[in-house]
Amino acid sequence: MNSGAASPVSVVACPDGPLLIRGDFELVGADGQELPRTRRTVALCRCGASVLKPYCDGSHKLTGFRSEP
């Protein structure tokens, strides 16, 4: 996803939730292929329960996922 000028990338670990990645970046799967994305911000699953892996689908709320302090 490239829309002109590059912007810095930030990664935020949401408490008891996903990793939010913002900015200009390429997301690559285990097979080396770029994963599709349509937004500048992507939420990545940390709980392991998402059916949309590697993207977050909100499953952490149902599983009671807790991030490390």
pLDDT at site 68: 86
Q: Tell me: the pLDDT tens digits for 7-47?
A: 899 999 999 999 999 999 999 999 999 998 888 899 999 99
Does residue 48 surpass a pLDDT of 70?
yes
Find tokens 């909100």 and name the residue. 58
Domain 10-68 matching CATH 2.130.10.10: the answer reads no
In the beta sheet, which residues pair with residue 43? Answer: 20
User: CA-to-CA distance for 20 and 44, rounded, in angstroms?
Assistant: 6
pLDDT score for 51: 98
